[in-house]
Copies of this chain bind each other. A is one copy, B any other.
Amino acid sequence: MAAWGERLAGVRGVLLDISGVLYDSGEGGGKVIAGSVEAVARLKRSGLKVRFCTNESQKSRRHLVAELRHLGFDVSESEVTAPPPAACRILKERGLRPHLLVHDDAGESFSYQNMNKAFQVLMGLENPVLISLGMGRYYKVTSGLMLDVGGYTKALEYACGVQAEVVGKPSPEFFKSALREMGVEARQAVMIGDDIVGDVGGAQRCGMRALQVRTGKFRPSDEHHPEVKADGHVGNLAEAVDLLLQHADK
């Protein structure tokens, strides 16, 4: 593989995934991934553009940012791209009235009953529209790996014979809105995430570069994924920032 200098040449903006990169969510607000608080601070001082790009849909941006600030991160609401505001825009633009299957009825409260209700609503529509807030396979909390929303979306797609519109990673539209908000072009941006498919594969399909951290939901088999090859693997965010400060354009 090419040297880091070559792989990171021309980078002007950095998209950071949050869960599994900054911290592992879980009981009591979660746990910082060692070195990440300082890494974010150094990145923001460096002159590189920085934006947080998350599929978090169980908490509002306000709640998420409060949790991160409490852990010591320098982050504000206006720096975060997340699915719920994007989904609200779509609903308004098209004049759709949603049946909501979101927190507190989703997440760990997914049940046969609330899935079946969503299924019945979709089957009753002449032109069913299914909007999914992300398409994650699983995420990591302090106690282990947890099923994410993608599987539940697949269940409804299969049962109803519809295809979901994904608002969140790995939807290209979602990455593009984060790039627009950051004011950087895809070829000048690098995504740093722990999800080989949703973060790395999704960002690369948009023309960005992407590094996978070996924290969060990272698994050793990701380094030999049959379809996605990261532009590099790093131990954690701190190591990624070291490399960026050494090699990226500032």
Contacts and interface: CB of A to CB of B under 8 A. Distances in A.
Interface of A: 107-113, 115-116, 119-120, 123, 137-138, 144-148, 150-152, 154-161
Nearest to A138: B159
B119 A145 contact: yes
Secondary structure dominating the interface of A = helix
Contacts of A120: 144-145
Given A115-B151, A137-B159, A151-B156, 9 more contacts: A107-B112, A108-B116, A116-B147, A120-B144, A138-B159, A147-B159, A148-B159, A151-B158, A154-B155
Contacts of A107: 112
B112 A109 contact: yes
A112 B112 contact: no
Contact of A161 (B137, B144, B147, B152): B137
A158 B137 contact: yes
Contact of A155 (B108, B145, B152, B161): B152
Contacts of A155: 147, 151-152, 154-155
Contact of A154 (B116, B146, B147, B158): B158
A116 B161 contact: no
A119 B147 CA distance: 7
A105 to B, nearest CB: 11
